[in-house]
Amino acid sequence: MNSENLPPSTRRDFLKRGLGAAALASLTQPDPLLYSATSTQQPRLSGKAESCIFIWLGGGASQIDMFDPKQRGDGKKKAGSYYASIETAIPGENVCEHLKHTAPLLDRCVLLRTVSHDIEAQHGAATNLVHTGRKPSETLIYPSIGSIVSHQLGPRDDGVPPYVVMGYPNIARDPGFLGPKHGYVYLTQLKTGPNGFTRPPDVGLERQKRREALLVNWQKEYQSRNAGDKNVQDVIDVSREAFRMAGPSFMSVFNLDREPSSLRESYGSEFGQRCLLARRLVQSGVRFVEVSFNLNFLNGTGWDTHNEGQLKQHLLIQDLDKAFATLIRDLENQGILDKTLLVIATEFGRPAEFDSGGGRGHQSNSFTCVLGGGGLRTGQVIGKTDELSKKILERKVTLPDFHATIHSALGINPHKKLYAGDRPVPITDFGKPVRELFT
């Protein structure tokens, strides 16, 4: 009998039973959003990587001129790639001609050609998004990916920091609500190590010990006046850890002269030497190392290739190519490529069209990031773009997905909840790791 023809009392009972059944179903069936966020119904993907080297191309590296080449443009009116392309170790996939050292090694890598977000205008906001996986909050400062790795895994060995940054630091690399204990050690000089980790020549060992004793007294006094303040305790812990790391064991990592001169030459420029130091740092037990190019490096504009920056962009690409290819081979020769996740990331890409000065603008809806090693199923391309690398045709990868993939490769549950005070905050914002990369 149709419910519309039932007597009022019977119809009411019918609807009551139906709503009760629906409520019961909602309790017993997994909610799709909750299902994707917690992954309680599926085996959690977990990789074999123990450390991560995160290469940062600040400024917005052009995917169409590097890892997602398309038809040739003319640098003026005809849109397209600025350079010719060459074949790679991944069958049927090409990259820019200036990546000639990396191309034969791409079977050790994965090209994520459809990374996407919606912050196109501002470098700072996009940089923060790529580093934290979230847009800023008015009530919370989110931690960087390096700080989360520090918090979840810590260093692999005593006497080394879990998180190191080489390049230009800003708030995007900060620990946010995780506190100073999970901040980074910043390197400005490759050979001398972190500022403040080496005693000045006029400060002998006994004088150093007296200084440390005086500092301990001040710390105790300040701590007693701020009892229960976790940030104060964290700062004190960081200070004491710094003294411990200033010993000869960790500081010896910065002696690049111990490496064969032929290897140092293979790495190339200052950026290449940073990559070599990154390898030494992860071998020493550091979990997460960010390696950046200098601002305005080589071509006058860095990877922000508006106007004339495009003309010498190839110098940047060649520099990256030489260092990255050497890093892959070096890690492989050291027997730690499968244990070291390599990441090449940038805040956004570039459109196929050229601006009035012959350069390119910003494009965030589709750009390329690269993963390598780390025990992943490499030799793959994830995602497909249109004929000008502007629109995603297959397999969009969001920033939370990108973060979830990195965390999963390191054995970190991307859905685990961290706590900002009493407030639960999942490690990623409903990110799903790229399943094809895990065995």
Mean pLDDT over residues 189-215, rounded? 61
In tens, the pLDDT along 351-375 reads 999 998 899 999 999 999 999 999 9
- Domain residue ranges in the chain: 49-194+253-437, 199-245
What number of other Cβ atoms are within 10 A of residue 218's Cβ? 10
What number of other Cβ atoms are within 10 A of residue 97's Cβ? 15
Given the candidates 3.40.720.10, 3.40.50.20, 2.40.50.100, 3.40.50.1470, the CATH classification of the domain at 49-194+253-437 is 3.40.720.10
Q: How far is CA 387 from CA 90, 251, 412, in A?
A: 20, 50, 36
Helices (H) and strands (E) in the chain, counts: 11, 15
Of all residues in the chain, what percent carry a pLDDT higher than 90?
Answer: 66
431 pLDDT higher than 80: yes
**Which strand (E) or helix (H) includes residue 409?**
helix 399-409
115 pLDDT higher than 80: yes
Mean pLDDT over residues 414-437, rounded? 96
What number of other Cβ atoms are within 10 A of residue 255's Cβ? 12
pTM for this predicted structure: 0.83
Higher pLDDT, 59 or 206: 59
The pLDDT of residue 214 is 65
In tens, the pLDDT along 1-55 reads 443 344 444 444 433 334 333 333 333 333 333 333 444 446 678 889 999 999 9
The mean predicted confidence, pLDDT, of the chain is 85
Residue 242 to residue 230: CA distance in whole angstroms: 18
Burial environment of residue 206 by CB neighbours within 10 A (0 to 12, 13 to 18, 19 or more)? exposed
Residue 359 to residue 375: CA distance in whole angstroms: 37
Residue 243 to residue 205: CA distance in whole angstroms: 13
Of all residues in the chain, what percent carry a pLDDT higher than 70?
Answer: 77
In tens, the pLDDT along 295-350 reads 656 777 889 998 888 999 999 999 999 999 999 999 999 999 999 999 999 999 99
In tens, the pLDDT along 238-255 reads 555 554 555 567 888 989
